[in-house]
Structure 1
Amino acid sequence: MSTEAYQLTAIIIYMVAMLVIGWYSYRKTSNLTDYMLGGRSLGPAVTALSAGAADMSGWLLMGLPGAIYLSGMGQAWIAIGLTIGAYCNWLFVAPRLRVYTQVSNDSITIPSYLESRLKQSSRLLRVASGLIILLFFTFYVSSGMVAGGVFFESSFGLDYHTGLLVVSGVVVAYTLFGGFLAVSYTDFLQGLLMFLALIAVPIFGLFMTGGIGETIDSIKEVNPTHLSLFAGTTVLGVISTLAWGLGYFGQPHIIVRFMAISSVKETKQARRIGIGWMMLSLGGAIATALVGVAYYQQNPDLSLTSPEAVFIALGQIIFHPFIGGLMLAAVLAAVMSTISSQLIVTSSALVEDLYKAIIKTDASDKTYVNLGRLAVLLVSILAAALAWRENDTILKLVSFAWAGFGASFGPTILLSLYWKKITSAGALSGMIVGAITVVVWGSIDSLTSTLYEIVPGFALALITTVVVSLMTYKPNAEIEKEFDETVRLLNEERK
Structure 2
Amino acid sequence: MNLSSFLILSNQLPSDPTSLVSQYKGMGVTTAIVIVYLLIVLGIGYWATKRTKSSKDFFIAGKQIGPVALALAAFSATLSGWLFVGAPGLIYSIGTGAMWFTMSTAVCYTLLWTILGKRMRLLVEIKDVMTVADAVNERFKSQFASGLAGIATLIGVVLYLATQLLAMGVILSYVFNISVATGVIIGMIVTLLYAIGGGMIAGIYTDVFQGTMMVITSIVIFAIAMSKGGGMLNITNVISTAPALSEGALGLKFVGPFGIVAPIVAMSWFFLLALGIVGQPHLVHKFFMIKDIKRLRHGALLTTVPAIISGLLSFGVGIVVKSKVMSGELAVLVKADDAITVFLLNYTTPVLVGLAFAGIASAIMSTADSFINIAAAAAVRDLPNALGKKLSEKSQLKWGRITSLACGVVSVSLALGLSSGGIALLGAFGYGTFAAALAPTIGMGFNWKRATKEGAISSIAVGLIVGIVLEVAKVLKMGWYMNGLGSLGIYNGLFALSISTIVFIAVSFLTKPAELDKGIEAVMDC
Does TM-score exceed 0.5, indicating one fold? yes
What's the RMSD between the two structures over aligned residues? 2.2
Q: What is the match of residue 130 of structure 1?
A: 150
Matches within 5 A, 1:41-56: 41-56=64-79
Tell me which of 212, 225, 239 is aligned to 1:219. 239
Which segment drifts farther, 419-428 or 43-52?
419-428
Distance in 2 (CA, whole Å) between partners of 1:231 and 1:323 is 29
- 5 Å-filtered alignment, 1:451-470, equals 451-470=490-509
Task: Say if 1:243 and 1:452, in contact at 8 Å, map to a contact too.
Answer: no
Q: For residue 267 of structure 1, report the CA deviation from its aligned partner.
A: 1.7
**Alignment match of 1:386 (pick from 401, 414, 418):** 414
Deviation at 1:371, TM superposition (A): 0.4
1:95, distance to aligned residue in structure 2 (A): 1.9
Deviations 1:34-62 (A, max 9, x none): 10000111111111111111111111111
User: Which secondary structure state, in structure 2, belongs to the residue aligned with residue 388 of structure 1?
Assistant: helix
2:522 to 485, 488, 491: 485
Preserved contact between residue 82 and residue 244 of structure 1 (Cα < 8 Å): no
Indicate if the aligned counterparts of 1:98 and 1:263 stay in contact, CA closer than 8 A.
no
Listed as ranges, the matches of 1:62-101 within 5 Å are 62-101=85-124
Q: What does the per-residue CA deviation read over 1:321-346, in whole Å, with 9 as the maximum and x for residues that have no partner?
A: 12311111111111111111111110
Alignment partner, residue 284 of structure 1: 313
Unpaired stretches in structure 2, ≥5 consecutive residues: 1-23, 243-250, 474-480
Match of 1:158 among 178, 182, 188: 178
What amino acid sits opposite 1:117 in the alignment? R
Query: What residue number does 1:377 align with?
Result: 405
Give the match for residue 16 of structure 2: none
Distance apart, 1:314 and its partner CA: 2.1
Aligned ranges 1:390-409 → 2 under 5 Å: 391=420, 393-395=422-424, 397-398=426-427, 400-409=429-438
2:464 aligns to what?
A: 435
Structure 1 residue 325 corresponds to structure 2 residue 345: no
Q: 1:301–1:327: structure 2 CA closer, same or farther, 3 Å change rule?
A: closer
Q: Is it true that 1:294 corresponds to 2:323 in the alignment?
A: yes
The structure 1 residue matched to 2:285, chosen from 238, 247, 256, is 256
Contact 2:49 2:199 in 1 (8 A): yes
TM-fit CA distance, 1:357: 4.1
Superposition pairs for residues 141-152 of structure 1, below 5 Å?
141-152=161-172
* Residues 212 and 419 of structure 1: CA distance in aligned 2, closer, same or farther (over 3 Å): closer
* Aligned mates of 1:288, 1:398 — CA distance in 2: 25
CA distance in 2, matches of 1:372, 1:287: 41
Deviation for aligned residue 1:157: 2.9
The CA deviation string for residues 110-164 of structure 1, in whole angstroms up to 9 with x for no partner, is 11111122122xx212221111111111111100111011122344431111111
What is the rounded CA distance, in whole Å, between the counterparts of 1:259 and 1:128 in structure 2? 21
Q: CA separation in 2, counterparts of 1:272 and 1:81?
A: 14
Runs of at least 5 residues in structure 1 that lack an aligned partner in the other structure: 491-495
Confirm whether residue 368 of structure 1 aligns to residue 416 of structure 2.
no
- What residue in structure 2 maps to residue 493 of structure 1? none
Residue in 2 that maps onto 1:471:
510
> Partners of 2:294 and 2:214 in 1: how far apart?
27
1:115 counterpart = 2:152: no
Partners of 2:27 and 2:523 in 1: how far apart?
55
Is 2:445 the counterpart of 1:411?
A: no
CA distance in 2, matches of 1:357, 1:301: 57
What percentage of residue pairs aligned between the two structures are identical? 24
Say whether 1:21 aligns with 2:44: yes
Is the contact made by 1:78 and 1:244 (CA closer than 8 Å) also made in structure 2?
A: no
Q: Residue 316 of structure 1 corresponds to which residue in structure 2?
A: 345
